[in-house]
Structure formats: structure tokens, C-alpha cells
Amino acid sequence: MTIEIVGEDLRATYGFFEVTELRLQADGGASERRTVVRHPGAVVVVALGGNGRVVAQRQFRAALGRDVLELPAGKRDVAGESVLDTARRELAEECGLLAARVEALGSFYNSPGFTDERTWVVGATGLSRGERAPQSVEERAMELVALRLDDLDALVASGVLEDAKSIVALLMARAHGLGRQVAREATVAMEEFEIVGPGE
């Protein structure tokens, strides 16, 4: 059976996303409607510092009413900005870190059953200190921590890491061998960051 979109009506705009109703037509004449969310997309950054540690953060998420452990990330909401430049901007704003090298590792759709949001995974190495520029109350309150890429399976299995974009990003980074790379540039040692392990 073939299904195609034969119509699209904008129902509402809320900040950076749009709610749209689609009209679908299938072989045999059956037609149905679906409500979807149009999203500008996002990036998530796997920033690898000294000792193979990955920069992470505990950030309050209003939808859950509590802090969530996740990687630096943000919306692609600046016109004309590339994926890699968005990653650099978010890493600086949220973590106060600059990356000598950034690399696109891949992308994924967050929840294609209702939104077209696509998230790009970017690896960042050669970290150095910059200036933080938090853009929200959540970013001002967030705590920077570190994860070991080798702990990924245990972090997920124990429920310590439950943010889907961060899990997918770390899996992509591991598949690309990011944790095995030897950074030749200056890097942040990250000894001052608390290490979050699977038992926490």
C-alpha cells in the first residue's frame, strides 16, 4: 500500500515549533488526518576531554519537574548557522568550553510518530576554557559533570542515564571510535568535574 500526503494545514505556532494537520491518502481511496509537530532540529555534542571523559550536565527539565543527566545540546534556531557552528555555540553557552575540532557523527529522528525533529550528533575534541553564556534559568542552574564512555552500558542499564538523545549520541561516538582518539590539541583535563557512574 502506498500512502502520500495530499494536504497540510498549519494549526498553531508555539515559539520555535508548529502544529500542523496532515491529510493522508492511501491506495483504495481511504483518507485520514494526522497531527504533527514541525521542529527546526537540534544538535547534541559529545565533548571528549582529558582521560577519555565526556562532558555532561545535570539540567532541570520542566516537563519532568526534576534534573536530568544529559549531554550539551540545543536547537538549530539560528538562521543560516551550520550544524557544526550550532554545536560550537551550544558547547560554549552551556559549558564554557571551546573545541579545536568538531566532527559530525550522524543524525537521528527523535520521535517520527509525531514530529519531524532531527538531531545531529557532533563530536568535539581539543577542549579549552571559554566563557559561559547561559541563555535560560535552567542553563544558569545546571551542574557540569563528566561521564566515562566505557561506562555507557552500565549507565543506561542502571537508569542513571535516561535521556534518549544522550544515549544515542554516546552510542554513535563509541561506534565512531571517538573515545579511542588521541587528542593532540590542548584539552581540559576535567578532574574538577564530578564523575557520574552507574551506581549514582
Chain centroid, CA 64 distance in Å: 17
Is 138 annotated as catalytic? yes
The per-residue DSSP string of 9-78 comes to: EEEEEETTEEEEEEEEEETTS-EEEEEEEE---EEEEEEB-GGGEEEEEEEEETTTTEEEEE--EEE--S
- CB 124 within 8 Å of CB 187: no
- CB 127 within 8 Å of CB 49: yes
Catalytic residue of the set 21, 103, 138, 162: 138
β-pair type (118-129, 42-47): parallel
> Facing residues of 59 across strands?
68
All cell numbers assigned to 46: 559529545
Handedness of CA 105, 107, 108, 110 (dihedral sign): positive
Active site residues: 138
